[in-house]
Amino acid sequence: MTTKTGGCLCGAVRFEAEGVEEGFGICHCGMCRRWTGGVYAATQTKVVRFTAGEDRVKTYTSSDWAERGFCGECGSNLFYRITLEGPMKGATHLALGSLDELEGMTLETELYVDLQPACLRDGEAKNRLTEAQVMAMFAPPE
């Protein structure tokens, strides 16, 4: 476990998380797909301290057992937290995309694999572009 920093797209929300697990999971459930537009990738953490913009963090109660946190300014997904009484109450799963650094992170678990859309199974995309290639596509003509 390690300490990581992260935040939202617009920079309004920043956090420091302690006890971040280096193994992460992805979820294929319908709620996560709707929330992210794809799969939800997250890692569990013990403690999250907001260092900026805590007042901008909004939550949505997405089920009887959990809430989802996001930036109220830019809408970036930040976390999924268990709210149901029991041994998992308070467990917080940080959105992988909200972390500043992903070095050392490894995929360990896939949830709801029976709900995974066939189009997301086994295989690579026909077209795979680097950052430079994508940026060149948007460059103004010379």
Question: Residue 141 domain-assigned?
Answer: no
CB 36 within 8 A of CB 83: no
Helix (H/G/I), strand (E/B), else coil: 32: helix
Question: Residue 17 domain-assigned?
Answer: yes
CB 43 within 8 A of CB 25: yes
Question: Residue 4 domain-assigned?
Answer: yes
Predicted pLDDT of residue 125 = 74
Question: pLDDT 10s digit of each residue in the chain, 142 long?
Answer: 789 999 999 999 999 999 999 999 999 999 999 999 999 999 999 899 999 999 999 999 999 999 999 999 999 999 999 999 999 898 999 999 999 999 999 999 999 999 998 887 776 778 888 899 889 888 888 7
Predicted pLDDT of residue 46 = 84
What is this structure's pTM? 0.87
b/e map 4-28, b = 16+ CB within 10 Å: bebbbeeebbbbebeebbeebbbbb
Q: What is the DSSP string of 55-123?
A: GGEEEEE-SSSEEEEEETTT--EEEEEE-SSSTTTT-EEEEGGGBS--TT-EEEEEE-GGG--GGGSSS
Question: Residue 93 domain-assigned?
Answer: yes
Question: Residue 142 domain-assigned?
Answer: no
Looking at the structure of the chain, the number of domains it has is: 1
Which two three-digit tokens encode residue 112? 């709801």
Predicted pLDDT of residue 140 = 84
Residue 81 phi, psi dihedral angles, 5° rounding: -130, 135
